[in-house]
Amino acid sequence: MSNENIIECKDLNKYYSGVHALKNLSLKIKKDSVVGLIGDNGAGKSTLIKILSGAHSPDSGQIYFEGNEVKFKSTKEAMNLGIETIYQYSALIPQMSIARNIFIGREQTTFSLGSIGLMKTKSMDKAAMDALNDVELHLRSPDTPVNQLSGGERQGVVIARAMYFKSKVLILDEPTNHLSVKETNKVLRFVEGLKKQGVTSIFITHNLSHVYPIADHLCVMARGEKIADLAKEDTNIDELTDLLVNG
Amino acid sequence: MNTNNLKSILMRPEISTFIMFIVIMTGFFIANENFLSARNIRIVMGITPEYIIVAIGIAILMISGEFDLSVGSVFALVPMTMVQLVHQGIPPWVAIALGLSIGIAVGFVNGFITLRFGIPSFIATLGMLYIARSLTTVATGGFPPPFPHELPNELFVFQFEVFRASLFWMLGVAFIAGIMLHRSNLGNWIYSTGGDTAAASSMGIKTNNVKMFCFILCGFLAGFAGMIQTFRIEAPLPSQGYLLELESIAAAVIGGVSLFGGVGTIFGAAIGAILIRFLESGIIMARIDAEWFRAGLGSLIIISVVFNTWVVRRGENMVHKNQAEENQNSSQNNESVTESKDE
């Protein structure tokens, strides 16, 4: 973990048809860290990540990425800068193969006319397998449809995809929801691996016990506000639980 | 590894359709060996390319997650427009271009209404089914016009020894569509859009543009196929393509295209369309009352989808069983991160 901030938010506000979903939120995220963003349902976690991922724009406030102010008009723009978001619903197409999923929207092509071209399937297959090996996910074939993978393996594929495209920040929205204990541990191990490879991750969850073991920093939200922002060494699980429950 | 490959090939729905095709062909051949005579193949394959082209358009659109119920009407409207334009003194090639752009325009309107107003394409195109059919009838001005022989129909339907020129046009369409769907990045976008629109758009795919492209392509191909049929029978009939929308969806579904999007192949849709035409011919050749064709088609739809679902489910169960075993084998190595990290 370095002392440099990779993302800094200043006084972000967001309203949804009259509801003040995000209230003056400021947040600093250090490079190469794992930040646990916790809060009950409706705390504003999803709003915050939608803004960071470029899906929505804030009504006021600024976002700085690597020191420069950014205003994302689309998720694609955020992705191009290296901010990749993994949503609650898996961002994978169940019927499609692993390799095709990894390259959705960013296919390697040849003979292209404008943005349309023939896919280099062999090189994509190989790159897919390499990307999976990089996150220690050993699957049989890049042609396996994603719907034949377990929940943990699917998250692994998504993380491998983010790694392959050199993401600097990975936002994981409830990546352990609906997963068994064993599968959850798999995902946690993937996230730990990210830190070693120089990727910052923001891990959103309402389950403190999932994120606590791997987080460097914990940020608690309630009613659209940040109510605590603590380094792990300055807090403990009881204090956090109390914050989470009593706000 | 080899058995795994074999399994994954057999699991593909279009392959089970192909096997069904072989079985049905063999059955009709046993009932009447003239079924596979050059003469009968010539008759069936003379008309089949038109249906395959429509089925290809429908299949691509269905893979992208939408429907088009207006293809049967477009199949009549486009050639009727061409014929009437030529009667107005418009040069034949210009009339063909204008006619085909009607197909494109109908596809665009279908897409626009569906995507702009967020209504099911089933409804948008059901409306278009009636509108386009009505326009076709209005365009006849009361009775079907004669076929203008300035139109270059031989180029599209010339009868060779066994096959018609339309077969080669169909192969061209299938080849281009196949490359586009299965080998290009656009194909990847179409599958992802139909597979899970939200996930695809979170990956930066402009899903509405992808769907719009598929609507337009479907309208264009339906019109192009209708043109070939009119050129073949040399009579523009306002009733042409009646109920073709359902038959095309049937062809796609029989060929393994999913009603829910994201699944299907060009090959499957083509086999589905061929199967329907040979079923019709086989029933006649086997001296069964031709009225049984629809019953046969209905049974075929149900049987093929049940069969495909069964095959896919069996395949999945097999995989899950393997996975469960693998998990059990590796469970000893699975140390819990939570425990190791907790101080």
What confidence tens digit (pLDDT) does each residue in A105-148 have? 889 998 888 889 999 999 999 999 988 888 778 888 898 888 88
Q: Which residues contact A178 (CB under 8 A, 6 or more apart)?
A: A151
Query: How far apart (Å, rounded) are the C-alpha atoms in residues B73 and B180?
Result: 26
Q: How confident is the model at residue B332 (pLDDT cuts 50, 70, 90)?
A: very low
Answer whether A214 touches B (CB < 8 Å). yes
| CA B65, chain centre distance (Å) | 13
What confidence tens digit (pLDDT) does each residue in A166-177 have? 888 989 888 888
Q: What is the pTM of this model?
A: 0.84
Secondary structure E strands in A49-196: 60-65, 68-70, 83-86, 109-113, 116-119, 169-173
Distance to chain A for B100, nearest Cα, Å:
23
Query: How far apart (Å, rounded) are the C-alpha atoms in residues B68 and B121?
Result: 7
The domain locations on chain A are 5-92+167-246
For residue B240, pLDDT beyond 90: yes
Helix (H) or strand (E) holding A50: helix A45-52
Q: Do A96 and B204 touch (CB under 8 A)?
A: no
Query: How far apart (Å, rounded) are the C-alpha atoms in residues B298 and B311?
Result: 20
Please tell me what DSSP assigns to residue A65. E
Q: Give the tokens for residue B343.
A: 């101080």
Query: How far apart (Å, rounded) are the C-alpha atoms in residues B117 and B66?
Result: 14
Domain tally, chain B: 1
Using a CB-CB distance cutoff of 8 angstroms, which residues of chain B are in contact with residue A115? 185
Q: How confident is the model at residue A197 (pLDDT cuts 50, 70, 90)?
A: confident
Q: Which of A9-18, A29-38, B94-103 has the highest mean pLDDT?
A: B94-103
Query: How far apart (Å, rounded) are the C-alpha atoms in residues A202 and A191?
Result: 10
Distances (CA, A) of A179 to A88, A151, A182, A186: 12, 6, 8, 10
User: Which architecture does CATH list for A5-92+167-246?
Assistant: 3-Layer(aba) Sandwich (3.40)
Closest-CA residue to B204 (of A240, A197, A20, A80): A80
Structural domain for B116, as ranges:
52-266
Closest-CA residue to A101 (of B261, B192, B178): B192
Answer whether A109 touches B (CB < 8 Å). yes
Answer whether A104 touches B (CB < 8 Å). yes
For residue B268, pLDDT beyond 90: yes
Amino acid in the structure at residue B163:
F
B280 is a domain residue = no
B40 is a domain residue = no
What confidence tens digit (pLDDT) does each residue in B289-321 have? 888 888 999 998 998 888 877 877 776 666 666
For all residues of chain B together, what is the average pLDDT? Answer: 88
Answer whether A7 touches B (CB < 8 Å). no
3-state helix, strand, coil in chain A (%, to 5): 35, 30, 35
Using a CB-CB distance cutoff of 8 angstroms, which residues of chain B are in contact with residue A125? none
Pairing outcome for strands A19-30 and A116-119: unpaired
Query: How far apart (Å, rounded) are the C-alpha atoms in residues B16 and B248?
Result: 19
B100 is a domain residue = yes
Q: Give the tokens for residue B60.
A: 């691509």
**Other Cβ atoms closer than 10 A to A84:** 26
CB A2 within 8 A of CB A32: yes
B219 is a domain residue = yes
**Other Cβ atoms closer than 10 A to B159:** 13
Q: Which residue of B has its CA nearest to A215?
A: B341
Residue of A81, A83, A93, A187 to mutate, interface with B, max B Cβ within 10 Å? A93
For residue B135, which phi and psi values (nearest 5 degrees)? -60, -40
* pLDDT mean over A76-101: 85
Q: Do B341 and A100 touch (CB under 8 A)?
A: no
B153 is a domain residue = yes
Q: What was the ipTM of the complex prediction?
A: 0.79
Q: Do B203 and A105 touch (CB under 8 A)?
A: yes
Q: How confident is the model at residue B156 (pLDDT cuts 50, 70, 90)?
A: very high
Q: Do B262 and A95 touch (CB under 8 A)?
A: yes
For residue B342, pLDDT beyond 60: no
**CB-facing half-sphere around the CA of B252: CA atoms within 13 A:** 31
3-class secondary structure for chain B? CHHHHHHHHHCCHHHHHHHHHHHHHHHHHHHCHHHHCHHHHHHHHHHHHHHHHHHHHHHHHHHCCCCCCCHHHHHHHHHHHHHHHHHCCCCHHHHHHHHHHHHHHHHHHHHHHHHHCCCCHHHHHHHHHHHHHHHHHHHHCCCCCCCCCCCCCHHHHCECCCCEHHHHHHHHHHHHHHHHHHHEHHHHHHHHHHHCHHHHHHCCCCHHHHHHHHHHHHHHHHHHHHHHHHHHHCCCCCCCCCCHHHHHHHHHHHCCCCCCCCCCCHHHHHHHHHHHHHHHHHHHHCCCCCCHHHHHHHHHHHHHHHHHHHHHHHHHHHHHHHHHHHHHHHHHHCCCHHHHHCC
Tell me which residue in A104, A185, A189 faces B203 most closely, judged by beta carbons.
A104
Model pLDDT, residue A119: 93
CB A52 within 8 A of CB A63: yes
Closest-CA residue to A176 (of A161, A189, A163, A160): A189
* pLDDT mean over A88-99: 84
